[in-house]
Homo-oligomer: A and B are copies of this chain.
Amino acid sequence: MKAAIIGGGVIGGGWAARFLLNGWDVAVFDPDPDAPRKVDAVLSNAQASLPALSDTPMPEMGMLSYATSLADAVRDADFIQESVSEQLDLKHRVYAEIQRTAPDTPIGSSTSGYKPSQLQEGATNPATIFVAHPFNPVYLLPLVEVVPSPASDAALIESVKETLRGIGMYPLHVRKEIDAHIADRFLEAVWREALWLVKDGIATTEEIDEAIRMGFGLRWGQMGLFETYRIAGGEAGMKHFLAQFGPCLTWPWTKLMDVPEFNDELVDLIAGQSDAQSGHHTIRELERIRDGNLVGFLRTLKERDWGAGRVLNAHDARRRETLVQPDAAGAPMVMAHMQVLPGWIDYNGHMTESRYLFASSETTDAFLRHIGAGLDYVEGGHSYYSAESHIMHLGEAKLGDRLTGSIQVLSADEKRLHLFIRIERDGAPVATIEQMLLHVDMKAGRACPASPDVLARLMPIRDAHAALPRPETTGRHVGQRKS
């Protein structure tokens, strides 16, 4: 699949990175000779952060090319995304030129302000032009507002939404076109109020940022406005909340009926305060800090399958379907594919010690699911518990390394399961783990035989693995000299 990215700034670069890292080829067109440098900078940020969101191996990255003409960029493209500056006549000229080469290809616009019907004016094929408004950083934030006009092709819009889901995004279908769509109307409202607070000397830019990120900003990353207020209403419900707070609306709190005069004095005031607040970090540093924080937030939501985390889990599930399943037996079974994430790194820059055991647990858990002793089985009151483990550290895994976890069954009976786990990078072990598990009745708190179903799946693997060479580090105690 090929995406054409028209306009190579921060937003265009973000789109390019998202498509590339999801396996699409990308052709960028931007007459600015500085565009490749800008796109590469965004791509480098994306490569440092986006893979950390994935719990399945990423596809091979697509090919990035810089086209020398708009026609070359859009030829054979499956999707075209326009991110040129916010001038309507410029956008119209771009669409006319695109449609001379690619009259039927979907054209999304990153515009934050224009309505799709404005974009479509005078086009050869208005039905293929729509708003696909993303949020910076485009490679990490899932939201994209998809806004059609009445002239849009409904089937094309549905297929566009599927394309956007395919690169891990959350397309929010805005059913009625409106200036600035939805999210930016809120940003605009807050921005105006913030300018007043700075201008009137009530708060500095730093104080305003703290007022947001120490409080309601944290709430809004995981629930929006209404769900948050629903909770505030308590068991009495949303109507109670509305009855209580509705009247406040007429209080003369906000100054939003006015627009502050945007003169040099205000610009200097804001820019000066912003320098004092953030000037000790370069923009590149701030981007990396922001991206690290966003990855952490998104992983939090992933663990809980909530909000943006649900979008990421669905994206993983879609990718996992295309992965090969482990071979049944006769060789150590590759049960887990992992990538070393930023949160797995210690102050030495290496994968932190306990993560080797974590990788082992992921592998063992996948094996237990494979033999029918997964979550459902545990909910029935039985489980395999680790009794004892021996870890040999044989190499140093680093950020971004792709690891596999494989299982060799050393021995097994009704109650005991003796495993050898290899954590490998490029076929060479970085750690091995020898482990004894006991099958337990969780309620009684003691060992008991596994169910016949589990044993029926486990024993053929044990028998097949009996023919494998025994790993030389088994039966070893800590500090034992090599023989």
Contacts and interface: CB of A to CB of B under 8 A. Distances in A.
Contacts of A297: 218, 221-222, 296-297, 300
Interface string A364-403: 0000000000010010000101111111110000000000
Contact of A220 (B220, B296, B303, B304): B220
A197 to B, nearest CB: 7
Contacts of A194: 186, 225-226
Interface string A264-305: 000100110111011000110011011011101111110110
A158 interface: no
Give the bracket for the number of chain A residues in contact with chain B.
35 or more
A442 B347 CA distance: 12
- Dominant secondary structure of chain A at its interface with chain B: helix
Contact of A352 (B141, B251, B361): B361
Interface string A459-475: 00000000000000011
A210 B436 contact: no
Given A224-B210, A227-B209, A254-B189, A353 B386 contact: yes
Given A296-B299, A388-B393, 13 more contacts: A10-B232, A136-B231, A141-B215, A182-B202, A185-B193, A194-B226, A211-B224, A296-B303, A348-B378, A353-B357, A354-B354, A389-B390, A389-B478
A32 interface: no
B234 A283 contact: yes
A388 B387 contact: no
Nearest to A141: B215
Given A203-B174, A307-B214, A388 B388 contact: no
Interface stretch (A101-109, A120-128, A241-249, A327-335): A241-249
A428 interface: no
A383 B418 CA distance: 33
A202 B253 CA distance: 25
A222 B213 contact: yes
Interface string A159-194: 000000000001010111011101111111111111
A178 B254 CA distance: 10
Interface stretch (A59-67, A76-84, A255-263): A255-263
Contact of A136 (B226, B232, B246, B357): B232
A211 B238 contact: no
A5 interface: no
A93 interface: no
A33 interface: no
B378 A190 contact: no
B201 A176 contact: yes
22 contacts: A135-B215, A141-B215, A170-B210, A170-B214, A179-B251, A184-B253, A186-B212, A189-B189, A189-B256, A190-B190, A208-B225, A208-B226, A221-B221, A223-B290, A242-B262, A249-B260, A293-B307, A296-B304, A385-B393, A390-B477, A474-B478, A475-B479
